[in-house]
Amino acid sequence: MRNTLLKSHSTTIIGLRLNGKAAIGGDGQVSLDDMIFKASAKKVRRLDEYDVLVGFAGAAADGLTLLQRFEEKLSEYSGNIPRAVVELAKDWRTDRYLRRLEAMIVVISKQHSFILSGTGDVIEPDDGICAIGSGGGFALASARAMLECKNAPEDPAEIIRKSLEIAADICIYTNKEIEVLSL
């Protein structure tokens, strides 16, 4: 007998800091179980006031709630990104409402790269590349491979776009409706 509950699958979000620039990108696919519900969802945002790019993977309402909470933390801590991500992670882990949210977020600026999860993780990757979601591993491997090439693109947005295209060729929960934002 088939389970009647629909299983949600994530997306692909990747962010990169390179050469004093930053970019983030995501695909547009929304999948539930074995169905594509939407092809052009917007999962990345620019917080212009703070020169920060953010993206989420997971449940849309949960991801949007977390992005809103992150923006509130940025305001509360006067744009101090490391402090805002740590405080959000603490709240996310301890608050009865927030700890039930099923999403992950990426935060990218020209100086910082973070991945946050509901288990209290605040990860700042050594190489400045953050990738989450179903196709995150594929996009991460693609970006790292491109950066190893002699003639690697110098623009992080170009690397992000190509990494997402490669992930979309491999991951069935990722499509080529790609949005890339840059700082």
Concatenating the DSSP letter of every residue in 82-115 gives HHHHHHHHHHHHH-TTGGG--EEEEEE-SS-EEE
Instruction: Enumerate the β-bridge partners of residue 113.
Output: 108
Instruction: Please report whether residue 178 resides in a domain.
Output: no
By DSSP bridging, strand 113-117 and strand 103-108 are: antiparallel
Instruction: Please report whether residue 157 resides in a domain.
Output: yes
Tokens of 102: 């099923």
Nearest to 160 by CA among 180, 135, 134, 136: 180
What CATH number did the domain enclosing 135 receive? Answer: 3.60.20.10
DSSP string computed for 1-58:
----SPPEE--EEEEEEETTEEEEEE---EEETTEEEES----EEEEGGGTEEEEEEE
Instruction: Please report whether residue 112 resides in a domain.
Output: yes
11 annotated active-site: yes
Q: Is residue 76 a contact partner of residue 69, using CB atoms and an 8 Å limit?
A: no
Nearest to 154 by CA among 16, 13, 14: 16
Instruction: Please report whether residue 39 resides in a domain.
Output: yes
**Predicted pLDDT at 5:** 41
Give the integer Cα–Cα distance in Å for 7 and 35: 10
Give the integer Cα–Cα distance in Å for 90 and 66: 12
**Predicted pLDDT at 97:** 62
Instruction: Please report whether residue 182 resides in a domain.
Output: no
Number of compact structural domains in the chain: 1
Q: Which domain holds residue 136?
A: 8-173
**Residue-by-residue pLDDT tens, the chain, 183 positions:** 343 343 445 689 999 999 899 999 999 888 877 788 888 888 899 998 899 999 988 777 777 888 888 999 999 999 999 999 999 888 777 766 666 666 789 999 999 999 988 777 898 999 999 999 889 999 999 999 999 988 888 899 999 999 999 999 998 888 898 999 999
Instruction: Please report whether residue 47 resides in a domain.
Output: yes
Give the integer Cα–Cα distance in Å for 130 and 107: 8
Instruction: Please report whether residue 84 resides in a domain.
Output: yes
From the list 11, 12, 65, 119, the catalytic residue is: 11
